[in-house]
Amino acid sequence: MGRNRATLADVARRAGLSKTAASMVLNGREGTRLSAEAHQRVFAAAEELGYRPNLAARSLRTRKTATIAFVSDIVATTRFAGDLIRGALDAARERDHVLLITETQGDATFEQYAIEAVLDRQVDGVIYAAMATRRLTVPAAILGGPVVLLNATSPDGLPSVVPDDEGAGRSVATALLELGHRDAIALIGRNRLKEDDPEVSLAARARLHGIRQTLDEAKVGLLAECFCTEWLPEHGYAAMRSLLSKPKRPSAIICMNDRLAFGAYQALGEAGLTVPEDISVISFDDDPIAAWLRPSLATTALPHEQMGRRAVELLLDGGAAEPSLVPMPLRRRRSLAPPAG
Amino acid sequence: MGRNRATLADVARRAGLSKTAASMVLNGREGTRLSAEAHQRVFAAAEELGYRPNLAARSLRTRKTATIAFVSDIVATTRFAGDLIRGALDAARERDHVLLITETQGDATFEQYAIEAVLDRQVDGVIYAAMATRRLTVPAAILGGPVVLLNATSPDGLPSVVPDDEGAGRSVATALLELGHRDAIALIGRNRLKEDDPEVSLAARARLHGIRQTLDEAKVGLLAECFCTEWLPEHGYAAMRSLLSKPKRPSAIICMNDRLAFGAYQALGEAGLTVPEDISVISFDDDPIAAWLRPSLATTALPHEQMGRRAVELLLDGGAAEPSLVPMPLRRRRSLAPPAG
DNA sequence: ATGCTCTGCTAAATCAGTTTAGCGACCACT
DNA sequence: AGTGGTCGCTAAACTGATTTAGCAGAGCAT
């Protein structure tokens, strides 16, 4: 990689000036008294030689690398990781930085390795990302430099970026109320573990809270709440079947995520019911399947790309210490209608 | 980040030896004549000081960075990107390397930026990845060092890693033949553009070829072939409906990917047909939805994680120049049954 | 005693930048 | 004439590693 690149000394020689002069000109240093002509000559020489500074040499002296570490627990499992990374990548590029990516897989040994690898390379800062919104403890070793938590919060009060799940809960409930649903709204996806342990999830509690708050204000109660051990399609399917076996059929279903909703659709289809004529469905995440379902599924989008971008901005431009909440936009789609009758 | 780290000079001083000695011992240089005692003292000193070499300084001298660039056209759009990256990450870690990730978004300006960023950092090699298996031309600038193409081939004969789509085509066809399907197999997802332009896709042609070859050998012809402008659920849905409107109903459907199959399921459900009793379905990719569908969808898995891993191995350990084909395993699931009657 | 080799180790150069300290020329002012 | 300040620029130190060249002393043969 990169064999015979021109060095600063080459540029200086060609410009007939010293390395010092060339360095100062190219770095646009203020307060230097180099003549306009010297500037010209240096720029011309650099241009002609296709000069690009050797970043290893520079960072040896300056301790800056224009590199950000992106350390996450698990990148691959969820499709959302890609968006988080893409947002970060974009924002990093705009600021002339680059992303060093490592993954801990939740394994302490790997985490140790990742941290050493990152510190050894003297990154300018670390984005510590979680794939499920949750609380976590940041390893002390990286606290020597700037750190931003992405999709996570920590007890240390580090700057962090998380989605506004509570707001999403309110949006979802409001959307149903506006359509006239009142006494027959059911919820699929209650989960004690997710709701009670912030190290597992922050989203479940916040979403539930937003929903409850909005319904309470409207003096509306939930018709039923189904607990699910996981938020996967099969659990949504089972929950929906159990709801349909009860005497009073719901007019609308809120699913805690799109995969549950997908399962609910399957059960509804088997039961010969149609969405949204018989039952409205609304959900969270905006997984790609939400748009692929028939009818398309209304949901609140996890703004992962935005979040990734925000994390880089907080890291490089500095920012408030309290968690930065990124709104989750409501995607109104075909699965919503006023209650039948 | 990393303020007061011990330097090699510190270690040497503590060991009562020169920097040269310390460097040689720590790098395990052969043929040096340093005493066993000197080794002991250096190791002890390094241990006590928690010494970690400054990689910027090292790579300034050696031109090695223990860093691999992962340049891709689009990371976020497809969920598979995550697996590609994860595989690469794992293999890189095993070899004590780290991944620098950039994205070109198919944009020439971004590509230029990515390449400069990568060259400036003197990476040890570049993995140039495409998100859809295709042929592409590698920018000349990165040819100065090792390059491996991932999920792509190039006219330059660079080492590359691609999935064995043709083999997958054969597996899919064989699976149906073994179940007894012969005269009523239909295909969804023909697409001239994908089949004819290797810069768009290599997969379509290879899959089709594998299918045809196997069916030909068994003297079996396709009942019908549906063309789709894209490989999205809605197109699978439309194709399936058109198939069902014809007099002879197929006994099995091959879909060119899982998203088409998802759409086909929707159409089948609406038509009141059940999979696999009425119609078997088999597909390609092993998208997560394949396992979520009811019944679960048989498909051939894109081995993205394996591929990412292989790319790193080829890059660092060297390897053959001809494309490295990674097998696509068949996932036998519920959507397959012998033809009815 | 001299020359030779081998052993165990080190001084100094090198990589390519940034940064500090300061030099010589010129001008203005007292 | 001497002093001080500004201007335009440079030499050299510095970052922290690797690597080349070579030194001092011991052992051995002649």
B285 membership: H or E segment, kind and range: strand B280-285
pLDDT tens-digit map of B54-76: 999 999 999 999 999 999 987 65
In chain B, positions 234-293, which contact chain A (CB-CB < 8 Å)?
234, 237, 259, 262-263, 266, 269, 288-289, 292
Contact, B64 CB vs strand D, < 7 Å:
no
Residue A61 resides in a domain: no
Same domain, B208 and B192: yes
The answer, for A340 touching chain B at a CB cutoff of 8 Å, is no
Q: b vs e for B108-130, b when ≥16 Cβ sit within 10 Å of the residue's Cβ?
A: eebbebbbebbbbbbbbbbbbbb
Residue B29 resides in a domain: yes
| C-alpha to C-alpha distance for A299 and A288, rounded to whole angstroms | 11
- CATH code: domain of residue B259: 3.40.50.2300
Mean pLDDT of B142-165: 93
Average pLDDT, chain A: 93
Same domain, B105 and B218: no
| C-alpha to C-alpha distance for B183 and B190, rounded to whole angstroms | 19
Yes or no: say if B228 and B236 are a contact pair by the CB < 8 Å rule.
yes
Same domain, A100 and A137: yes
Residue A185 resides in a domain: yes
Same domain, B186 and B290: yes
CA angle (B197 as vertex; B193, B202 as ends), nearest 5: 100
% residues pLDDT > 90 (chain A): 83
Asked whether the predicted pLDDT for residue A77 surpasses 80, the reply is no
Residue A334 resides in a domain: no
Predicted pLDDT of residue A113? 92
pLDDT tens-digit map of B91-116: 999 999 999 999 998 899 999 999 99
Predicted pLDDT of residue B235? 98
% residues pLDDT > 90 (chain B): 83
Task: Write phi, then psi, for B74 (nearest 5 degrees).
Answer: -145, 115
CA angle (A249 as vertex; A247, A254 as ends), nearest 5: 135
Average pLDDT, chain B: 93
pLDDT tens-digit map of A123-134: 999 999 998 899
The residue to which tokens 């999205």 are assigned: B232
pLDDT tens-digit map of B263-288: 999 999 999 999 999 999 999 999 99
Domain count, chain A: 3
Predicted pLDDT of residue A32? 82
The answer to whether the CB atoms of B119 and A1 lie below 8 A apart is yes
Contacts of B120 in chain A (CB under 8 A): 52-55
Start-to-end CA distance of chain B, whole Å, equals 71
> Which CA distances in Å does B244 have to A143, B61, B230, B297?
62, 69, 20, 19
Yes or no: say if A100 and A123 are a contact pair by the CB < 8 Å rule.
yes
| C-alpha to C-alpha distance for B305 and A73, rounded to whole angstroms | 17
Residue B215: which of B184, B256, B238, B191 has the closest Cα? B184
Predicted pLDDT of residue A14? 94
Same domain, A83 and A157: yes
pLDDT tens-digit map of B167-200: 999 999 999 999 999 999 999 999 999 999 999 9
Q: Give the distance, in angstroms, between residue A20 CA and nucleotide D18 C1'.
A: 26
Predicted pLDDT of residue B102? 93
| C-alpha to C-alpha distance for B200 and B204, rounded to whole angstroms | 9
Contact, A57 CB vs strand C, < 7 Å:
yes
The residue to which tokens 């198919």 are assigned: B106
Contacts of A144 in chain B (CB under 8 A): 1-3
Asked whether the predicted pLDDT for residue B8 surpasses 80, the reply is yes
Same domain, B82 and B95: yes
Q: Give the distance, in angstroms, between residue A150 CA and nucleotide C23 C1'.
A: 53
Same domain, B283 and B204: yes
- Both structure tokens of B53: 């070499």
What is the domain range of residue A296? 165-302
Predicted pLDDT of residue B75? 62
Residue B2 resides in a domain: no
Give the distance from residue B122's alpha carbon to the nearest chain A alpha carbon, in angstroms. Answer: 6
Per-residue confidence band for A81, with pLDDT thresholds at 50, 70 and 90: confident
Quick one: three-class SS letters along chain A? CCCCCCCHHHHHHHHCCCHHHHHHHHCCCCCCCCCHHHHHHHHHHHHHHCCCCCHHHHHHHHCCCCEEEEEECCCCCCCHHHHHHHHHHHHHHHCCCEEEEEECCCCHHHHHHHHHHHHHCCCCEEEEEEEEEEECCCCHHHHHCCEEEEEEECCCCCCEEEECHHHHHHHHHHHHHHHCCCCCEEEEEECHHHHHCCCCCCHHHHHHHHHHHHHHHCCCCCCEEEECCCCCHHHHHHHHHHHHCCCCCCCEEEECCHHHHHHHHHHHHHCCCCCCCCCEEEEEECCHHHHHCCCCCEEEECCHHHHHHHHHHHHHHCCCCCCEEECCCEECCCCCCCCCC
Q: Strand C and chain A: which residues 8-27 have CB closer than 7 Å?
A: 8-9, 19-20, 23-24, 26-27
Contact, A40 CB vs strand C, < 7 Å:
no
pLDDT tens-digit map of A245-265: 999 999 999 999 999 999 999
Residue B340 resides in a domain: no
Yes or no: say if A35 and A25 are a contact pair by the CB < 8 Å rule.
no
> Which CA distances in Å does B70 have to A31, A48, B108?
40, 29, 17
Predicted pLDDT of residue B83? 87
Same domain, A172 and A250: yes
**Which residue(s) pair with A280 in the sheet?**
A252
Nucleotides of C under 7 A from a protein CB: 7-21
CA angle (A87 as vertex; B198, B88 as ends), nearest 5: 55
pLDDT tens-digit map of B203-241: 999 999 999 999 999 999 999 999 999 999 999 999 999
- CATH code: domain of residue B48: 1.10.260
Yes or no: say if B163 and B173 are a contact pair by the CB < 8 Å rule.
no
The nt closest to B61 (CA vs C1′) is C15
Predicted pLDDT of residue B77? 55
Phi-psi map region of B209: left, alpha, beta (phi>0 left; psi -120 to 50 alpha): alpha
Per-residue confidence band for A181, with pLDDT thresholds at 50, 70 and 90: very high
Mean pLDDT of A52-57: 95
| C-alpha to C-alpha distance for B230 and B228, rounded to whole angstroms | 5
Start-to-end CA distance of chain A, whole Å, equals 71
* Residue A15: HSE in the Cβ half-sphere, 13 Å Cα cutoff: 32
| C-alpha to C-alpha distance for B23 and B33, rounded to whole angstroms | 13
Asked whether the predicted pLDDT for residue B2 surpasses 60, the reply is no
Residue B338 resides in a domain: no
Per-residue confidence band for B322, with pLDDT thresholds at 50, 70 and 90: confident
Q: Give the distance, in angstroms, between residue B269 CA and nucleotide C21 C1'.
A: 82
Predicted pLDDT of residue A127? 96
The nt closest to A35 (CA vs C1′) is D8
For B186, residues 6+ apart whose C-beta sits below 8 A from its C-beta are B222, B223, B224, B225, B226, B243, B250, B252, B253, B254
Predicted pLDDT of residue B105? 87
Same domain, B129 and B174: no
Residue A1 resides in a domain: no
Per-residue confidence band for B78, with pLDDT thresholds at 50, 70 and 90: low
Same domain, A131 and A235: no
Same domain, A25 and A135: no
Same domain, A82 and A173: no
**Which residue(s) pair with B187 in the sheet?**
B225, B254
Mean pLDDT of B23-29: 93
Asked whether the predicted pLDDT for residue B301 surpasses 70, the reply is yes
Asked whether the predicted pLDDT for residue A3 surpasses 80, the reply is no
